[in-house]
Amino acid sequence: MIFIAVLLVNLTACDSTSNLGSTLGSTVGLNSKTASKTQANSQSLKPIAFAPLVGVPADVSKKMLLAVKSTARAKKWPVTEDLSKAHYLVNGHFTAYPTNTGGKLSYIWDVKNNKGVHLHRVIGNELVKGSKTNNAWSLINDSIITKVADTSTGQLNNWFVANQQATTKSPTNTPEDPTRISPIAQTQKTDEPLITGAVGKRTGTNLTLVQPVVGAPGDGRISLTNALRHELKKNGVPLSTRRAPGGYTVKGNVKLENLSKKQQKIQITWNVYDGQGHRVGTVSQKNTVPAGSLNGAWGPTAEAAASAAAKGIVKLLPSKK
């Protein structure tokens, strides 16, 4: 049996009271001297464009994009509205859902280059206080939008500048090779598993069944299962809705352990079985999260977890014929 350990950075992003930068491994709270240097270095960046936001109502999307672009331009980013001229494309995915004290806004920013190579990801959450409502988007006001814009561009700016410096110092370290990008980006990288042990080629049918995840709180059973199916399909894995003769099966299990009143330890285990029912490998994800933060909708958290796990799972499945 092969064991694959996945280091999942920021399985669930911190809430508005936490330090998003420390969770993701970037540098925030820069002193004035460092901030000036960072802003100056950003002037040499290649053109950056923002794609239309996903999952956001039209009125909020318009305000959010305007705020993010304005903040980015204030940091001297070369923001372009022409996607065909951009060297970097930033995609935003948002989810808002109600909580007992108002709502929660979860988001992911993915950075790709003009060849479609994924380079970087920033994940964040903002808690929104307000009256209990079924429409959490109604609680997203200008103050929250400004906060998301400031936090997001701050995180992205650190990476853009670090990546620019790395490629300037070493011509061979181009953005097109995501394995050679800056240390900050590598620290935050959620879609590459840390592999231990040799992974051999597997034989059998290419059809793979992903069973519903067991033990996940909130809507994790559905959202995490669907997210993994989506990621495997995106990686070229043919999926089946039922167990096929000789096919492979992926079973996910989530376990939570209370560390204190404020923190929980989460472990997601993905076991891969061949057509004979033998376990051929395991992908394991561990992290510490705020207590109760996964009791509702997982949103982008499910996508981030599935993206990280899928890379390891693919290596355990039959190679393409």
| Cα separation, 286 vs 268, whole angstroms | 7
Beta partners for residue 104, in sequence order: 97, 127
Q: Report helix angle 142-169 to 58-74, nearest 10.
A: 50
Domains parsed from the chain with CATH numbers = 13-188 (3.30.160), 199-314 (3.40.50)
Q: Which residue has the tokens 């997601």?
A: 268
Q: What is the pLDDT of residues 255-290, one digit of tens each?
A: 999 988 888 888 999 999 988 888 888 888 888 777
CA angle 68, 73, 75 (to 5 degrees): 100
- Please determine, for residue 107, whether its predicted confidence score (pLDDT) is greater than 60: yes
Helix (H, G, I), strand (E, B) or coil at 79: strand
146 Cα distance to chain centroid: 21
For residue 68, what are the contacts with CB-CB under 8 A and spacing of at least 6?
50, 92, 148, 149, 152, 153
Average of per-residue pLDDT across 47-69: 91
Full-model pTM? 0.51
CA angle 135, 138, 141 (to 5 degrees): 150
Are 321 and 310 a contacting pair, CB within 8 Å? Answer: no
**pLDDT score for 22:** 26
Are 79 and 149 a contacting pair, CB within 8 Å? Answer: no
**pLDDT score for 136:** 86
Residue 41: pLDDT band by 50, 70, 90 thresholds?
A: low
